[in-house]
């Protein structure tokens, strides 16, 4: 029996996944979480074989959790299940220890296939993710879009700033200080050669990075 944990801050998503998994004789939902702290506890205390984890949740995001899970719950295979396109976060999260990165628009059968692959000790690479990885390997850094130069954390903060969130609000959401967010913002502006929040928002909108 594959023990599966579900971590998502939207009840309808958790309910849908639970219903999907309940139709499978070889899978069992052993716990759910609705924010980053609950997700951390689910992984460390319950130890599911596979953890289906949303990318952005209150408290700790998947970006924040991957180091802890890699170091303290290496037996838990992480599947990131998100509405963000693969090219934004996928390569970094796979590099940091996630075993799969699936979009929430994927077919339910692909979720089940990924769970079984992860339980068997394999990665699961979707066709979208394979295309992103191939593209990343074929382009030079100088040819990449400016936001590709951002670290995963910087990109996370960049999106929040582009959506109009204040540094104080972002700091509360990510459980860090406002000064830390301001430092990240300065680095983001420098890397992308942008000079105002309106330029950040224009860039993100033009590139269709906002959801």
Angstrom distance (rounded) from CA 60 to CA 132: 26
Coil, strand or helix at 100: strand
In the structure encoding, which two tokens stand for residue 192, read together? 């992308």
Residue 38 pLDDT more than 90?
A: yes
- Nearest C-alpha neighbor of 39 from the set 87, 94, 79: 79
What pLDDT is recorded for position 137? 60
What angle, rounded to 10 degrees, do the helices at 86-95 and 152-162 form? 150
Over residues 39-54, mean pLDDT: 95
Query: How many other CB atoms are there within 10 angstroms of residue 105's CB atom?
Result: 8
pLDDT in tens, 47-103: 999 999 998 888 777 877 888 888 898 899 999 999 887 877 888 788 888 999 999
Q: What does the pLDDT read at residue 42?
A: 96
Q: Which of 56, 43, 67, 48 is nearest to 118 (CA)?
A: 48
Confidence of residue 143 (pLDDT cuts 50, 70, 90): low
**pTM of the full structure:** 0.74
Q: What is the pLDDT averaged over residues 116-141?
A: 78
């Amino acid at each position: 029996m594959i023990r599966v944990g579900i971590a998502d801050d939207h009840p309808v998503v958790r309910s849908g996944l639970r219903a999907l998994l309940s139709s499978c004789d070889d899978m069992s939902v052993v716990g759910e979480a609705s924010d980053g702290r609950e997700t951390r506890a689910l992984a460390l205390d319950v130890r599911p074989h596979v953890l289906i984890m949303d990318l952005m949740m209150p408290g700790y995001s998947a970006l924040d959790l991957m180091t802890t899970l890699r170091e303290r719950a290496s037996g838990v295979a992480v599947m990131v299940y998100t509405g963000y396109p693969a090219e934004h976060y996928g390569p970094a999260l796979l590099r940091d220890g996630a075993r799969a990165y699936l979009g929430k628009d994927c077919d339910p059968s692909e979720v089940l296939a990924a769970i079984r692959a992860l339980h068997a000790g394999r990665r699961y690479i979707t066709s979208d993710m394979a295309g992103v990885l191939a593209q990343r390997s074929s382009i030079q850094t100088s040819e990449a879009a400016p936001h590709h130069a951002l670290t995963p954390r910087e990109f996370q903060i960049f999106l929040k700033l582009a959506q109009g969130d204040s540094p104080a609000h972002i700091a509360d959401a990510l459980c860090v200080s406002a000064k830390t967010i301001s430092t990240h913002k300065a680095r983001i502006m420098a890397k992308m050669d942008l000079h105002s929040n309106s330029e950040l928002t224009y860039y993100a909108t033009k590139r269709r990075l906002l959801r």
